[in-house]
Structure 1
Amino acid sequence: MSYEPVMTCMANICCKYVNVLAIQLIYVSISSLIVFISLIGDQLLTIKRNAINAYIIALSDTLIHGFIGFFSWLLVYISKGHPVCEHIVLMESFICGLTASAIDLDHVLAARSFDLNDISHLPNRPFLHNTSLTLLISVSILATGLIRHNWMVHTYGWIFLTASLTHHLRDALRHGFWLYPFTTKPVPLWAYVLSLTAYPLVCSLLMDIVAKEWLERHSMSNHLNFKYKSVSGDVQEV
C-alpha cells in the first residue's frame, strides 16, 4: 500500500496551516507597529512647542497619519493572504498613505495661511475632519465606480474611506469624532487599538461582499463584460 497520497495530503495541510499562521503573525506585527508609532506620535504632540520644533512636530504628526494609512491598506491585502510586493498593492497603499496625510491640508485652507500659529489655532475643525462628510464622499466614489463599471474608481472609494477613517480615528483619541452637527467624546485607548486593528479585516470583508453581490446581480440581468479582481487576487468576469 502506497502512503504517498496520504503524505502529500498531510504536507499540503501543513503548508496551508503554516501560511495561515504566517499571515496572522505578519498581521499582528504590523498592527502592533501601527499602534506603537501612533502612540509615539501622540506623545510628540505633548512636547512644549517653540519656533524651532513646532514645524517638526506638525510635520511628524502628518507623516504618522500617512504611515498609518499606508500600512492599514497593506493589511487589507495581507488579511487575504495576497502578495504585497506587487506593484499595484504598493501603489494603492502609497495613495492611501498620501491621502491620509493630505487631509491635514484643510487646516491650511481653513486658515488661509501657512503660518503655523494660524493653522493650529482655528476656531473650528476644518471640513475634511468632518467624518460625516468624508463618509459621504467615500460612498459617492464607491457608488460611482459601480455605476460606471469602473473597479479602479470603486477601489479608490475604499482607499479614501481607509485614509479618512484612520486619520479621524487617531484624532478622535484627543478630540472625539466630528459627526456634524454632533461631536463625540474622545475615544478610549482600548477602543482605538481595537478599531485600528480590526478595520482592515472588516474593510476586506466588505469589499468582497459588495463585489460578489454586484457581480451576481449583473450577471443575472445583463451581459456586461466586467472584470473584478478581488482583494484575494481572484479574477472573475461577468
Structure 2
Amino acid sequence: MTTPLHRALQALERFNATHPWDHNAHYHRWIVRQLPRRFGSALDVGCGSGDLARRLARRARTVCGIDSDPGITARARELTPAAAPVTFVTADALTEFPAGSYDVITCVAVLHHLPSAEALALFRRHLAPGGTLVVLGVARAATPYDFLLSAVAAPLNALMGWARNRGRTAPRPVSMTTTTRPAEESFPDIVRQARAVLPGARLRRRLFWRYTLVWRNR
C-alpha cells in the first residue's frame, strides 16, 4: 500500500512532467555574467542543442560547441543562423578535445559523465592565459545541507514549471531531449578535486540540483 508521502511525490512527478523547464538554461544568463564583455574564442563542452553556444556568440569572435551525440549536434546546427560565428562538432570531450587554447570554456551538466579530475585538468590545459572556465554541474546529495536544499527546490521547481509554461501542459524543450545519468560524486568530492587541479576555483551549491565552478587562469 502506498503512503500519502509516496502518492504526493508521484503527483509532483506527474506535474513536473507536464510542465517541464530546462534547469541548465536557467543558469545561462548567470554563466554569461561571469565572462568578459568581449572575448576571442569560446568552447562549450557538451553543447547539446546549442543554446549556450549561441548566447556566447553574442560576445565572442568564434565559438565551438562539442557534444558526443551526433543527433543533437545536427539539431544545434539546424537551430543556429548561418551568419553566427558558431561551429558544432561531434566529439568525445576527453579523447577528441579540440586543439588550441580558448579564452572561455563552459561545461554544463557534463562533468558528472566524465572522470572529473581528468576533465578539469584538460580544461585547464586548454584555457588561455587570462581565460575563464565556468562549470555548471550536478552532484550527488550527501550532506544534510544538500537534502535541505533539495527540499526547498522541490516546490520551487513546480512553481517555476507552472510559471514558465503559463499554466499550460507543454512538451519537453529541445535542449532536454538528451539523456543524463545520476551523479556519483558529492559536492564535497568535487570541491576537493577542483581545488587540487584549479587553485583558487570558486564553487557554490545552487538551487535546482546544481552547483557552479568558476576559475580564472591568471
Answer yes or no: same fold by TM over 0.5.
no
- Measured against the shorter chain, the TM-score band is under 0.3
From the two aligned structures, give the one with the greater helix fraction.
1
Structure of greater Rg: 1
Q: Which one has more relative contact order, counting CA pairs under 8 Å at least 6 apart?
A: 2
Per the normalisation by structure 2, the TM-score is: 0.27
From the two aligned structures, give the one with the greater strand fraction.
2
